Amino acid sequence: MASTKNLSRFWEWGKKIICVGRNYAEHAKELKNTVPTEPVLFLKSPTAYVKEGAPAVIPFYSNNLHHEVELGVVIGKGGKDIPQALAMDHVGGYALCLDMTARDVQDKCKEKGLPWTLAKAFDTSCPVSDFIPKDKIQDPHNVKIWLKVNDSLRQEGSTSSMIFSIPFLISYISKIISLEEGDLILTGTPKGVASVQENDEMVAGIDDIISMTFKVEKHL
């Protein structure tokens, strides 16, 4: 069974990181984007992973690094063209994730119609928690994800506000990109994204199920 698989080192396997953008209406609106009628997808590099103990680094070409706290879904069983009704069988567990975003770079990419790779996929752009076994989160569409910077609450949102559900996303993505064991899907961020500075401390959590701490460092 997928749920009993040991995926505790999923972040070391170098598998895909597939991100969903604008999956919370309030976040789409705060950045003056329209609320999507189809999922917005982009990828992060496998070298984006960073675990607690190592810093999230501001890329040298950005002056505005934003935090985005997100629920991550770890794929336990791969597949292609996965029907929605079977999608949850492909979930091996979860992880709390930060989709660190060079917002100034993303704004320029949007203006010029260029892809978001420089804004989203750089090394250390995906801080992740320890693996959360599937049975630790009974209903992934009803947990609160939150993030504090230097003890001040910046983001707090319920996954019940996701526009596209996890089964919908797994089915949709798997029609385009085959999913493999160890792949990670970032399901989008609630409102409250904002800048972090060198030496800031980000603490994020899912209810009282898990929390994690990352320091921000400036690229030298």
Ligand X SMILES: O=C([O-])CC(=O)C(=O)O
Among 189, 202, 205, 216, binds ligand X (CB under 6 A): 189
Q: Does residue 22 touch ligand X according to CB under 6 A?
A: yes
Q: Distance between CA atoms of 111 and 197, rounded to whole angstroms?
A: 25
Could you say whether residue 183 binds ligand X (CB under 6 A)? no
Let me know: does 68 contact 193? Beta carbons within 8 Å: yes
DSSP letter, residue 172: H
Tally Cβ neighbours within 10 Å of residue 48: 23
Position 150: which residue type? N
- The interface region with ligand X, picked from 18-26, 89-97, 152-160, 209-217 by CB under 6 A, is 18-26
Q: Kindly state whether residue 157 participates in binding Mg ion, applying the rule CB under 5 A.
A: no
Residues 126/185/169/147 CA torsion (nearest 10 deg): -50
Q: Which is nearer to ligand X, 79 or 169 (CB)?
A: 169
Number of helices (H), then strands (E), belonging to the chain: the values are 4, 16
Answer for which of 56, 68, 124, 192 binds ligand X (CB under 6 A) is 68
Q: Which amino acid is at 141?
A: H
* Residue 21 binding ligand X, by CB under 6 A: yes
Q: CB nearer to ligand X: give 33 or 211.
A: 33
In the window 79-118, what residues touch Mg ion (CB under 5 A)? Answer: 99
- Closest to ligand X by CB, 149 vs 163, is 163
Beta-carbon-side half-sphere exposure of residue 122 (alpha carbons within 13 Å): 19
22 binds, among ligand X, Mg ion, none (CB under 5 to 8 A by kind): ligand X
- Contact flags string 137-166 toward ligand X, x per CB under 6 A: ------------------------------
- Shortest spacing between CB 16 and Mg ion, in angstroms: 15
Q: Which of 68, 165, 193, 204 binds Mg ion (CB under 5 A)?
A: 68
Nearest by Cα to 123 from 217, 56, 74, 206: 56
Going by C-alpha positions, the residue among 70, 91, 77, 86 that lies closest to residue 19 is: 70
Nearer to ligand X, 167 or 190 (CB): 190
First to last CA, the chain: 45
| Residue whose CB is less far from Mg ion, 164 or 181 | 164
* C-beta of residue 214 within 8 angstroms of C-beta of residue 202: yes
What residues line the site for ligand X (CB under 6 A)?
A: 19, 21-22, 27, 31, 68, 99, 101, 106, 188-189
Query: Which residues are near Mg ion by CB under 5 A?
Result: 68, 99, 189
